[in-house]
Structure 1
Amino acid sequence: MADIADFANDLVQERIDQAVAARLALMSTTAQHSLMFCDECDGPIPEARRLAQPGCTLCIECKTADDQRAARYAR
């Protein structure tokens, strides 16, 4: 027999599923095309990265350096 906690968990899971679906729908309509070549070094951006990160403009090396630079200045 289900109790009130089970109903609450079901309701929360339903809301989470709705939020995730809405987020995915928004991402699919606003996703930009990934660049074939890096904006910084003009090196090729691997296809796996372009598929995994829609809208990427930097290769892996430049993005890593950019993230490290941003983390250094965020302190």
Structure 2
Amino acid sequence: MTDIYDQAAEIEDMHRRIALENQAARTAGMAAVSAYECEECGEPIPEARRQAVPGCRCCVDCQQIEEHKQRLMA
């Protein structure tokens, strides 16, 4: 019988694989269009960030906050 830790590891692997596949699909051909304004705070997203991170939706500060929240939930 598989224990709960093995099941959790399998689920984590599945989520990681899905996230990587989604990221690859978003960046395929670099066709993703970046937002001009942050979806969180409404501030303009600098052109350098828009070019460096195709498809970005948030400014650097809001992206860092979002990533911090995700790490806390993991």
User: TM-score, normalized by length of structure 1?
Assistant: 0.60
| Structure 2: gaps of 5 or more residues | 1-23
| Distance across 2 between alignment mates of 1:48 and 1:71 | 26
Q: Deviations over 1:8-61 (max 9, x none)?
A: xxxxxxxxxxxxxxx7xx7116x3210000001000111111001100000000
| Alpha-carbon distance in 1 for matches of 2:44, 2:61 | 11
CA-CA distance at 1:70 after TM superposition:
0.2
Q: CA RMSD in A?
A: 1.7
Question: Which runs of at least 4 in structure 1 moved beyond 3 Å after TM superposition?
Answer: none
Q: Count the aligned residue pairs.
A: 49
Larger Rg: 1
SS of residue paired to 1:40: coil
Partner residue of 2:29?
28
Per the normalisation by structure 2, the TM-score is 0.60
* Aligned twin of 2:10: none
Equivalent pairs: percent with the same residue? 39
